[in-house]
Amino acid sequence: MSAPTRRDILRFSAALAAAGTLAACGKSGDEEAGGIVTVDLWHGQTDTGKKALDALIKQFNDTHPQIKIVGGGGGVTADSMLQKVTAGLAAGSFPDIAYIFGSDLASITRSPQVVDLSTVDLKDAWPAARDAVTVKGKVRAMPALLDSLCVVYNKKLFAAAGVPEPKAGWTWDDFVSTAQKLNNPAKGVFGTGWPGVGDEDTVWRLWPMIWDLGGDVVTEDGKSVAFDKVGEQVLGTLDKLRTDKSLYIDPKPGSEQLYQVFLGGRMAMVATGPWQLPDVLDKGIDYGVVPLPTYSGKAVTISGPDTWTVFDNGKARVKAATEFVKWLNDPQQDVQWDIQAGSLPVNTTTAALPAWKKHATATKGLQVFVDALETARVRPTITQYPQISQHLGEATVAVLLGKKSPGDALGECVKACNALLAVPS
């Protein structure tokens, strides 16, 4: 898996709009000499993720002599893959498979070169994984990575403050009061933290809170936002953390500083995913993991799945590329990727394998993230989502910085988003 700083950070650029007008042209030629079909994979993985994927590619190539997967990566990290692929599609030179963030899938499927994978059986995939690759009722990619959001906390800081450790079923009021009790300015300790630049990392943490209150991203007909009635309460929770001065606000993209404060033992609680556990373990922090707090008492979280998206460079290459991404999702390969690269099991079948159970048992708190998949939801695969996220991100930052009240910030956000949704996509 690539670094956690890449977690679904959206690019609000001209490249996004250009995806809708891409020429339907691609590379010619399906087979190489000797009848071997070569498949070009752009994955953008680094470090452990690249090492894990390289090993799987070799394993596939060794067992499928008529297909050769070339995993060059595309020359960019996963953060920049959308722009890279979009430019390649416009130029008529694009990969057979690319690692595309789930939040970008709806935009990239504007291109006629994205293959429809609706014939692929995803019945064993977690609902969040299926939903993330489904656009307008059709499967447009294969799940590549799965995560969920929970709260990781520092046991030492709780003990030092004499505060009971959180348990499943706790509320957002509990979270706010706990953060205030653990906040210790004299020792440079914050109760918790939140990304403060207004990007997708700022926003995606809000959706479980909105869903919990009965809201949603957009209405069923897609003509207006569906968080207008509950958003003020959600932003109000952040405002309370701000006014209590128990909230560290990360001013830089990627949340790196937020995580560094936690890893440095100066933050009591952080909402994060399983990708952060290796770093927590490496720092020797005595930690615990609990589900997100709730307003209603009913557990809900968010997952931000990424995808393997297949592009049409001819029938033979489409067939070979599809075979490879299906093979990656098979539990025997999925479990290798999950353990080595830091993902959660894409399939429920994988989660039941002895190898995964052993890994989950050996990694404190990991099973909490897996169990959270039972209530995990995903953001809608709609082309307007990046702009909605941008407006909500701006509103959130205005509240975090004390520049606007939750009500005023939300009102401006809703107005801008509804104007956007009123224009047919």
Q: Phi, psi at residue 255, to the nearest 5°?
A: 65, 15
Tell me the pLDDT tens digit for each residue of 3-25: 333 333 333 333 333 333 333 33
Q: Can you give the pLDDT at residue 342? A: 82
Segment 319-326 shows an average pLDDT of: 98
Tell me the pLDDT tens digit for each residue of 355-384: 999 999 999 999 999 999 999 999 999 999
Q: How far apart are the C-alpha atoms of 295 and 283, rounded to whole Å?
A: 33
What kind and span of H or E run contains 41?
strand 37-42
**CATH class, range 150-302+384-421:** alpha beta
Which amino acid does the sequence have at 279? D
pLDDT band at 424 (very low <50, low <70, confident <90, very high): confident
Q: Phi, psi at residue 195, to the nearest 5°?
A: -65, 140
Tell me the pLDDT tens digit for each residue of 255-274: 889 999 999 999 999 999 99
Q: How far apart are the C-alpha atoms of 190 and 394, rounded to whole Å?
A: 23
Q: How many CB atoms lie within 10 A of CB 88?
A: 20
pLDDT band at 32 (very low <50, low <70, confident <90, very high): low
**CATH class, range 4-146+305-377:** alpha beta
280: Cα separation from own chain's centroid: 19
pLDDT band at 34 (very low <50, low <70, confident <90, very high): low
Say yes or no to pLDDT of 289 above 60. Answer: yes
Q: Can you give the pLDDT at residue 1? A: 39
Tell me the pLDDT tens digit for each residue of 166-210: 999 999 999 999 999 999 999 999 999 999 999 999 999 999 999
Is 73 within 8 Å of 50 (Cβ atoms)? yes
Q: How far apart are the C-alpha atoms of 287 and 181, rounded to whole Å?
A: 18
Bridge partners of 114, per DSSP, are 311
Higher pLDDT, 46 or 142: 142
Is 239 within 8 Å of 168 (Cβ atoms)? no
Q: How far apart are the C-alpha atoms of 272 and 237, rounded to whole Å?
A: 18
pTM of the model: 0.87
| Domain boundaries defined on the chain | 4-146+305-377, 150-302+384-421
Say yes or no to pLDDT of 30 above 70. Answer: no
Q: Work out the mean pLDDT of the chain and round it to a whole number.
A: 90
150-302+384-421: same fold as 4-146+305-377? yes
Q: Can you give the pLDDT at residue 27? A: 46
Q: Can you give the pLDDT at residue 362? A: 93
Among 2-11, 82-91, 295-304, the minimum mean pLDDT is found in 2-11
